[in-house]
Amino acid sequence: MTPLLKVDDLEIVFTGDTGVFKCIDKVSLTIDPGEILCIVGESGSGKSVTLLSVMGLLSKNGKITGGRIEFDGKDLLSKSEKELDQIRGNTLSMIFQDAMTSLNPVFTIGSQLIETMRVHLNLNKKTAYERAVSLLEKVGFPNPSSFMKKYPHTLSGGMRQRVLIAMSLACNPKLLVADEPTTALDVTIQAQIMELIKRLKREYGMSIILITHDMGLVAEMADRVQVMYAGQIVEEAKVVDLFQKPKHPYTQALLKSIPSIRDDENRELITIEGSVPEQYGDITGCRFANRCPYVVPECNVEQKLLETVSGHFARCWRSLDREEELNG
């Protein structure tokens, strides 16, 4: 099967007051048609920046310095801004983290939905209006036509997120990138939003990349998982394999910090000491070494992403021959 999206050895740098900082280091990923890929990791690990680069939406001080991004057979890095505008919001769409700042506060919900479809689908105003109402109904708005004249600030957080989902689906995209789509929503609304995304995925047959730091969402949604830490992919596996037998100490620590209804009453949740290093581009060895309980001198050399078993990769030299110790 030919991947819908293929990212090879992506490198991204940002220029700031203190100089040039490499934030993404040789990140590769693929997603097949109809697949759900979850990218998980702590804040600051590079998840959002990676996908913003795919969308061509890096800030002005960000620059792709290496790698290749191919979507639906097209080399995105060779496209002009005008050509990218025809792809973004059309076959490639994104749900951003903060619905309030992603919607224009001075335009109604209806006008923003209609504009999207008129630009990408060349629809007349009447047809676009009817399609917009239909989309709002699909994402769960009661009496959707009454919401067309409302402004974003008059809606709840869950409703604004549903509007963003409707906008992202306006042109029947092949790939939907969802960047922490349940941020700042209460648990009940989170469940509704994720169930909605799964239902729409089945209905539209699209692929989804879900960016999150919530391992519960990963278990519920993913076909395959990539774990990011300090600008690198440190582990990749099918979701069942990752949860049953994680290979990288960082993944193991993430899983051990999650409570479960099956836990023994005496189980103590662990915390991962320290934080993601800020200047990790200067680290030559394992970037998790300063927080890892298994660190040894061999961790000071460059760690490669190794295939430990078929389809399961880890950026840790111990993952090949010290599996029992790591999972003990």
CATH classification of the domain holding 12: 3.40.50.300
**263-308 confidence digits (pLDDT tens):** 777 777 788 888 888 888 788 899 999 999 898 888 999 899 999 8
The whole-chain average pLDDT of the chain stands at 89
107 and 165 together in one domain: yes
34 and 167 together in one domain: yes
Number of domains composing the chain: 2
The arithmetic mean of pLDDT across residues 78-99, rounded, is 89
151 and 291 together in one domain: no
**8-25 confidence digits (pLDDT tens):** 999 999 998 878 899 999
271 and 317 together in one domain: yes
Whether the CB-CB separation of 288 and 232 falls below 8 Å is answered with no
User: What tokens appear for 87 in the block?
Assistant: 């792809």
Domain boundary among 222, 253, 281: 222
pLDDT at 324: 44
* Terminal CA-CA length for the chain: 37
Amino acid at 177: V
**CA–CA distance, 214 with 258 (Å, rounded to integer):** 9
Give a yes or no: residue 182 inside a domain. Answer: yes
Please tell me what DSSP assigns to residue 88: B
120 and 267 together in one domain: no
pTM: 0.90
Q: Which residue has the higher pLDDT, 318 or 130?
A: 130
Give a yes or no: residue 274 inside a domain. Answer: yes
Give a yes or no: residue 237 inside a domain. Answer: no
218 and 261 together in one domain: no
Amino acid at 117: M
Domain boundary among 188, 222, 256: 222
Domain boundary among 191, 222, 253: 222
* % of the chain residues with pLDDT over 90: 57
**162-209 confidence digits (pLDDT tens):** 999 999 888 889 999 999 888 767 888 888 888 888 888 998 899 999
pLDDT at 326: 43
Give a yes or no: residue 80 inside a domain. Answer: yes
Give a yes or no: residue 232 inside a domain. Answer: no
209 and 254 together in one domain: no
**CA–CA distance, 230 with 106 (Å, rounded to integer):** 38
Give a yes or no: residue 203 inside a domain. Answer: yes
User: What tokens appear for 7 in the block?
Assistant: 């990212």
Give a yes or no: residue 236 inside a domain. Answer: no
**CA–CA distance, 124 with 193 (Å, rounded to integer):** 30
57 and 184 together in one domain: yes
Q: How confident is the model at residue 321 (pLDDT cuts 50, 70, 90)?
A: low
The arithmetic mean of pLDDT across residues 49-74, rounded, is 95
**25-44 confidence digits (pLDDT tens):** 999 999 999 999 999 998 88
Give kind and range of the element (H or E) at residue 245.
none
178 and 289 together in one domain: no
pLDDT at 264: 76
Q: Which domain holds residue 280?
A: 242-327
**CA–CA distance, 271 with 116 (Å, rounded to integer):** 44
269 and 168 together in one domain: no
User: What tokens appear for 236 in the block?
Assistant: 């990749």
203 and 306 together in one domain: no
301 and 271 together in one domain: yes
